Structures are given as structure tokens and as C-alpha cells.
Structure 1
Amino acid sequence: MTSVAGRSAGPIVAGRSETRSGREVWWAGHEGVLLPELDREQVTAGVDPIQLLAGSTTVIAVGPLTNLAEAVELPGHAIEQCFVMGGDFSLAKDEHNIKSDVDAAVAVFASEVPATVIGLDQTTRIRLGGEVVATIESAGPLGRLLAGEMRQFWKFMATDSNVPHDPAAVLMLTDPELFTFATGRIEVDGDGFTRFTPGAGPHRIVTDLDTEQVPRRIVDRILAACGAR
């Protein structure tokens, strides 16, 4: 996708193939099928994924936390903060990224590495629908590719919109003024439910967000990447 955008992605490294908990990670099965020449893509040779993460001061985690858990346990790691899409702090349900590797999530939050986390209770307040996708689709090759991926997902889910969970997590880092945070401590139970205790602690969760500006800013960033802004 970065090649369609005319940009370099930097090192691309495959992470661990098995979760720490032994749980199989669910995939829909259609991920990446629209990407041009995907079978020709290559990972960066000679780079260890855990060492790469451990050498980074800031990590954005938008999937199961298997690799991050191993990285924060390395003595002398450089990670100063991580931004995570995961959990549901309304306790209404468990969430895919956390429950895919509960043992890894427990390790990450027990490590005392500062983490800023947005859960389903906040991300599901925003959606991108048909009008937005039409705008993205008109923004050149990258826009058409992204719009195709979104519509493919809608068809799979039998819906006409989707929640931009992961872009919202990135936006916590780049546009923090759009969010309200609470400081405290996150714990994960054996069933994958996330619990937050406010007060002193190394963690922050999103307790509110600008439901108009967050999706607008996400779309603006997409259009800029497409060269339309």
C-alpha cells in the first residue's frame, strides 16, 4: 500500500507466528487480496522483530500484543510509551486484540511501560460511511485502493459503514487535543476483559473524544496521503 502512495515504509518485519497464550488469532480471510502484487512483497532481511520494537521509543500497537510483550521484557529496551487500540473499559465485552493473546496483554500492562489506550467503548462512537468513502475513492490510486478495501469489509460484515479503530489509536499520538484521558492502571483478567482503576499509575485510557473532529481528521489525513490535500 505504501508503494501505491509513492512512499517508503521503512523496515517491514514479520512478528511471532504464535501467540504467547497459544490462542489462534482470527482473521476474516480477505485481508490484502486487493493489494497489487502482494505476492511479490518481501520482509526486510536480517531484522529481528522484537529487537526492532525494543529499540523504538514510541510504539503504536493495533493488533494482539504478542510482540510488544516480548519487547518490553527485554532488559534495556528503549520503549518510553506505547499507544494501544484494545479493550473495552465499559466492561460490556471482551475485545479482539486483547483476547487474541491475553497472556501478552497482561505482560504489557504489568511492565509499567506508559501506555495510552483507546477501547471499543470509545472507538465505536465514530463511523465512516458511504459519502466519506466516495470522497476517498476520488483521491487517486491510493484512494481507490482504500475505498475498495473498506467496501470489501462492509460486504463481509453486511453493513454500510465501519469503525476506524486503528486510525483513532494513531490519532491519540498525533492529535491528543481531540481526546479526554484518565490516568490510572489497567488490568486484564483471564477472560480478556480490561479493567481500569483511576489514580496513580502508568496508564491512560480515553474517556471521551470529539465525535465530529476525530473522523474528520482521519479522513483529512487519508486524503493528504493520497495527495488530495
Structure 2
Amino acid sequence: MSSTAPAADRRRVVLDTDLGTDVDDALTLALLLGSPEVELVGITTVYGDTDLRARATSRLLELAGVPGPGVPGGIPVRAGAPTPLSGAEVWWAGHEGSLLGDLRTATTTPPAPGTSAADDAADWLAATAAAAPGEVDLLAIGPLTGVATALRRHPELAGHLRSLVLMGGRWDGARTTDGLLEDEHNLRSDAVAAAEVLTCGAPTVVVGLEITRQVRLEAADVERIAAAGPLGAVLAAQVRQWWEFWDEPWGIPHDPVTALLLVEPGVLELGPPGRVDVDERGAVVHVPDDRGAVRVAVGVDAERAAAAVVRRVLAGCTASRP
């Protein structure tokens, strides 16, 4: 949450995240903190143990030296919707939060009395957007259960957002050996929510797997992050943990690349507007239509994107805080 840019010039961003599993959510948080163009007004978590995810998020804010929940003027962190609307089983890696110490001591923003976490996060999101119509960008980088819950409770949310920026899906028509359209984790994890969000009418931009897979973080990048203070050390350890989980010596920063749409949009090329069809597996088809509200990334400058991600993550780890 850099203070180097005037508040009026910064984009007001809400982050909806399944932080704790794939390290790219945590890298995205650091990227946003290191982007002077962004005012991070709040964070909601989604999918599975959302309380653990919220506590992990709060701990990362602590490591960054950023005021979080419980601090006057701090960034609120709310545990959101845990259970997919589709009824799909939650996939859990097992290492979530394991490198962040005793998360019972991490503070989160409590729900309103008598309100479930899912409904509280949804109500807060809708109220935040309604208080500043056309000013709030919602960056959703996990399954879309929380966003869909908010839209169900507050359909007017779609008209209040400046933009809805999503990481999800595969949009190039690639098919499996069985002839099925390839799907992707975020949309597959709650296909019902994906269908509702992608047809809600909010101005939406989506970055899919065929784009993010062109960008890589290498070992040298991780070494630079590791040297960037307490947050950098933890992020680097989480990157290595994730690489070991998949037995790969490099990583794909799916979510940070998506976040670049808010701060370095020239790195990505967008296709025309259109509408979206979502099947029961969460596989998607984009149909060009001038009346549609959804645009899909069709190209990326991979070298520039990787450099921008690393530069902004480093800034988020080392920037001085008010």
C-alpha cells in the first residue's frame, strides 16, 4: 500500500484470494503492496478453510510492515465463502500456512454478529463498491464462490464495480485427448459460481492459462526475493515449497501476471468484448459480441511481464511503510 502516489491517482482494489495453497496468491499480495498505483482497500478469502487463509494473509501483511486488521486505518482481511456453490470437493494441498508460524495469533476482521463469514464478506464487498460507484476494481484470483455469493445477495454490485479482473479458464479452444475443452482450477473448482460471475454484466477482463503459462519465475528471481527482508524470505520459502510439491525447478506466476492488468496493462493484449459460455466442468468459450462485457487476454510480453512481477514483488517486500 504505497504512499508515493496521490490517493486520487491510485486504483482502489479489493483482492479476493485463495491465498495459502499456490504461492502466486502471496506474490500477488506483495505485488499490490509494491505498486504505487494501487490502494488496497481490503482482502477477502475464498475456498476451503477461509479463516486459515485470512490469518495467513494477515501474517503476510505483518511481515510487510503494513497495518492490517485490528489496526486503525489498517487493511481489513475477511474470511469469505468456504464451500463451492457447485458442491465440488475442495482441493487442499496440506501445506497451507505451514511456513507462517502460529496463525492463531494472526488477527482477522470478524464478521458482523449473527452473520456467516461468507455473507459478511459478500456484504462488505457490496457496501465498499456501493460507497464509491465506478471506482473499485475487484481482483479475483481464486474460485469465484465469494464473488458469486456477493452478486446473489447484492445484484447491483455488478453495476458498481469499475472492473472485475479474473485469473481463470483456458480460452484458446485447446482440447483434451477425449475431445473435451480444457478447463482450469479456479473455474473448475466452482463452475456454478463461474457461470454466474462471467454473465453478471460487470466490465470484466480475464487472463487464462494459455497466457500465464508463457511467463516463468526462475531460481535467480527467487534468490532476489529471498534477500528482500522478512516478507521476501517467507515468500521465497513458499515458492520453493510449491516447486517441491510439483517437483519443478521453476514456477508460473498466474495471479501476479493477471494483477499486471491493473498496473501495467500494456504488458497484456486484450481481445474484443464478448459473452461467455461456461459448461458444468468450468470450461469456457468466449463469443465475440460488441454488447458483451467480457474481454479475454490474447497475448503477453512474457519477458516484460516476468520483470514487472519481480520488480513489484521486491518493492512490496522492501518499501517503507507509514
The answer for the alignment partner of 1:194 in structure 2 is 284
Contact 2:78 2:111 in 1 (8 A): no
Q: How big is the shift at 1:30?
A: 0.6
1:2 aligned counterpart, secondary structure: helix
The answer to whether the 8 Å contact 1:5/1:226 transfers is yes
Report matched runs for 1:103-182 at 5 Å.
103-182=192-271
Asked if 1:49 corresponds to 2:121, the answer is yes
How far residue 228 of structure 1 moved from its aligned partner, in angstroms, is 6.9
Match of 1:91 among 173, 177, 180: 173
Gaps of 5+ in 2: 1-59, 69-74, 113-119, 130-135, 175-181
Q: TM-score, normalised by structure 1?
A: 0.95
Q: Distance in 2 between matches of 1:81 and 1:70?
A: 17
Asked whether the equivalents of residues 206 and 297 of structure 2 are also in contact (C-alpha less than 8 Å), the reply is: yes
Q: Which runs of 5+ in 1 are unaligned?
A: none
Structure 1 Cα separation of the partners of residues 148 and 319 of structure 2 = 38
Matched, 1:30 2:86: no
CA shift for structure 1 position 69: 0.9
Deviations 1:90-147 (A, max 9, x none): 2332100001000000000111111100000100011101111111111121111110
C-alpha displacement at 1:173, in angstroms? 1.2
Match of 1:71 among 123, 140, 150: 150
Q: 2:315 aligns with which of 211, 224, 228?
A: 224
Inter-partner Cα distance in structure 2 for 1:65 and 1:227: 31
- 1:17 corresponds to which residue? 82
Give the Cα separation in 2 of the matches to 1:58 and 1:225.
19
TM-score (norm 2): 0.68
Moved more, 136-145 or 35-44: 35-44
C-alpha distance 91-26 of structure 1, shift in aligned 2 (>3 A): farther
1:203 aligns with 2:262: no
**Whole-angstrom CA distance in 1 between matches of 2:229 and 2:76:** 25
Change (3 A) 1:184 1:76: closer
Cα pair 1:72 1:79 within 8 Å, conserved: no
Distance in 1 (CA, whole Å) between partners of 2:314 and 2:79 is 28
Deviation at 1:187, TM superposition (A): 1.8
In structure 2, the CA distance between the partners of 1:228 and 1:173, relative to structure 1 (3 Å rule), is closer
Aligned residues: 229
Could you tell me how far 1:18 is from its partner in structure 2? 1.1
Matching residue within 154, 159, 162 for 1:80: 162
Cα separation, partners in 2 of 1:129 and 1:228, compared to 1, 3 Å: farther
Runs (4+) off by over 3 Å: none
Fraction of identical pairs, as percent? 38
Change (3 A) 1:75 1:186: closer
In 2, the alpha carbon distance for the partners of 1:49 and 1:151 equals: 31
